[in-house]
Amino acid sequence: MIPANFDYESPRTLSEALDLLASHEEAKILAGGHSLLPAMKLRLAAPSIVVDLGRIAGLNHIRQSGDQIVIGAMTPHADVASSKILHDSCPLLAQAASQIGDIQVRNRGTIGGSLAAAHPAADYPAAVLALDAEIVAISRSGERTIPATRFFTGMFTTELRPDEIITEVRLPRTEGQSVAYKKFHHPASGYAVVGVAVRLKRAGTKIESAAVGITGVGHIAYRATAVENALGGKNTAAIVEAAAHAAEGVEVLSDYYASADYRRHLATVFTRRALEQAVGT
């Protein structure tokens, strides 16, 4: 199909982009375009104006800042996947980025665009939840920092206001912790039928604390708190039993490819695999 008519703007500065959002109620932000453009072609989205962030300097970077790593919102997935800073100091996000779509998607898609789209089967949400990341957004009213744990509010919906633009994602450095991302790829779309991100703090074979983010299973990516509680203070031998709680309390999605029962089973299997990879078993 052909999109409805729309105006196109390509501002040079963040200030110009914010002015456009503030003055056009039906405006939409264009980052990589992998979510917005297909929706427009199907007439699921019909913005009056598309504001392209591609020419704005300063939104594409990965750098260390104290005990955090800061990633610009327009940083492509491929840069996240290959970043030496991330591989050295926060490898979980790089692992997740390396499994997004295919090489064309990774070269064009951006971390900010992916998070703002909030697809229920996207890879980043599981990782940023497990990492307790922060999403920085700016509007004409000022800048605010949104914890990842309250950023995703529903299927394709987030805490972002219509007049806000994501500028950065802030992650903790995780040297000395055990991390892993395991995913069951949808064979056509590349999205996660189930994706599980884990971060463990360990003392020998004892798991002091666990953070587990899961995507693809429910209408929204979530922290698997039942798994985390079953692991805290336990020996690594508790992994199999803890993984059985992966879909606990979740309304599991069902579609033509994977029934709810199948997804629930995959959630258990891939949580166990991610935990086992993290502890090296």
The CATH homologous superfamily of the domain defined by 179-279: CO dehydrogenase flavoprotein, C-terminal domain (3.30.390.50)
CATH 1.25.10.10 at 7-52, yes or no: no
Backbone φ/ψ region at 175: left (φ over 0), alpha (ψ -120 to 50), beta: beta
Residue ranges of the chain assigned to CATH 3.30.43.10: 7-52
Residue of 213, 209, 231, 229 whose CA lies nearest to 221: 213
Q: What's residue 63's pLDDT?
A: 97
Task: Enumerate the CATH 3.30.465.10 domain ranges in the chain, comma separated.
Answer: 62-172
In this structure, what are the phi and psi dihedrals at residue 18, rounded to the nearest 5 degrees? -65, -35
User: What mean pLDDT do residues 61-66 have?
Assistant: 96
Token couple for 146: 């949104």
- Residue 207: pLDDT over 80: yes
| pLDDT exceeds 80 at position 197 | yes
Q: What predicted TM-score, i.e. pTM, was given to this entire model? A: 0.96
Q: What is the pLDDT of residues 33-48, one digit of tens each?
A: 888 999 999 999 999 9
Sort residue 33 into left (φ over 0), alpha (ψ -120 to 50) or beta.
Answer: left
The percent of residues above 90 in pLDDT, for the chain, comes to 94
- Please tell me the class of the 62-172 domain: alpha beta
CB of 258 within 8 A of CB of 193?
yes
Chain segment 130-172, per-residue pLDDT in tens:
999 999 999 999 999 999 999 999 999 999 999 999 999 999 9
pLDDT at 199: 98
